[in-house]
Structure 1
Amino acid sequence: MANYLSVYGVVNSLTPFQTSVTGQSCSVLLSVTAQSQGQINFVVNLQTFVLEQHTFRPGEPVIGIYDTSVPVPLIYPPQYQAVVLAPNRDGSMAALDYFDDDLLNTDQTIRLNIPADGSTEILMTNGQYYLYNPGGHYLFFLYTSASASTPAEITPQKVIVFCSPE
């Protein structure tokens, strides 16, 4: 089962990531100085979800999420396949996990509160509004605070619903 970890840092550089003999690919290596891990690299390819299709530049704050269950090469700096990348303009925190219909995550440590007033933007990965209960899906969300209770109560600013193919 996927287990996602969030990394917060600043973009150092973006370079082409060669995955073929011809040296051409549709992947980029995003080098980041992470707050807690130091230098790391994210491989960004066509499967990486980039919030708002943002184009990153050196010096920008970034949130990167990767799957800890995916094998990685034993190199320095560490190199992870980016699952989600998001600009971090306002010092937000982020997470990606599966949430049930009651909006409780898999290890029951987070419960999402979605206000009825529409103040939380709920979108699909294609940028369109998701008009149903987002539970029962993997959800990426941005937030600024969480309660100290167990499970932590979080009212996200934005939720991205990763729908399964129909």
Structure 2
Amino acid sequence: MANFQAFRGVVIMIDDFLIDEKGGNVGCYKLITLDNGYGAVVNFVVSPNTYFVDHVTLNIGDRVTGFYDGNAPVPLIFPPQFRAIVMARDTRYENVKVDFFNDELISSDNSLRLNIGPNTKIVLENNQLFNQSPANRNLIVVYGATTKSIPAQTTPSKIIVMC
């Protein structure tokens, strides 16, 4: 099971990332560097399989959150370099959480409980409708306001099921 971690920062660099010596995939992989404004810098390797919430195109200066698997091996270099699983451009009234949600739709860190509403759109990563229960799956959740309870509760606007 993936251990989803997040890093939020401002995009300070976007560059091509070479993954093989022959250059067969030039331009297919990107290296996106984020600075959180407190001295921490992280490089995200973005592959063709990286999911971009709302299919946005990132630009230098955008405030974004990158999600990665905290259990995945990483090279011992500075700045840290993670394989991006999900990238989300931060917006004022929208939050994004990537996590495993159990049969009660509570996140694995017990910080968020989902209440599916009639306007909650549930789709696959390819934007096709998902007609099953999203419980017991890895989900990308797009939501607005939450309650102040523990866990916080929200009715998400969109749930993307990661199959």
TM-score normalised by structure 2 residue count: 0.86
Q: Which runs of 5+ in 1 are unaligned?
A: none
Matched residues in 2 for 1:67 and 1:90: separation? 25
The equivalent of 2:157 in structure 1 is: 157
Instruction: Give, in angstroms, the shift of residue 101 of structure 1.
Output: 3.1
Decide whether aligned partners of structure 1 residues 99 and 142 sit closer, same or farther in structure 2, where only a CA change above 3 A counts.
same
Instruction: Give, in angstroms, the shift of residue 154 of structure 1.
Output: 2.4
Does the 8 A contact of 1:8 with 1:35 survive in 2? Answer: no
Does the 8 A contact of 1:6 with 1:94 survive in 2? Answer: no
Matched residues in 2 for 1:148 and 1:32: separation? 30
SS at match of 2:54: helix
Kindly report which structure 2 residues correspond to 1:75-94, keeping only aligned pairs within 5 A, or say none: 75-90=77-92, 92-94=94-96
Between 146-155 and 43-52, the greater mean CA deviation after superposition = 146-155
Instruction: Give, in angstroms, the shift of residue 135 of structure 1.
Output: 1.5
The equivalent of 1:54 in structure 2 is: 56
Matched residues in 2 for 1:97 and 1:35: separation? 25
Q: Which amino acid aligns with 2:97?
A: A
Aligned length: 161
Matched residues in 2 for 1:31 and 1:151: separation? 32
Matched residues in 1 for 2:9 and 2:93: separation? 10
Structure 1 vs Structure 2: percent identity of aligned residues? 35
Does the 8 A contact of 2:117 with 2:156 survive in 1? Answer: no
Between 11-20 and 82-91, the greater mean CA deviation after superposition = 82-91
Matched residues in 1 for 2:8 and 2:143: separation? 13
TM-score normalised by structure 1 residue count: 0.85
SS at match of 1:52: helix
SS at match of 2:31: strand
Matched residues in 1 for 2:77 and 2:56: separation? 28
Is residue 74 of structure 1 aligned with residue 71 of structure 2? no
The equivalent of 1:8 in structure 2 is: 8
Matched residues in 2 for 1:136 and 1:102: separation? 8
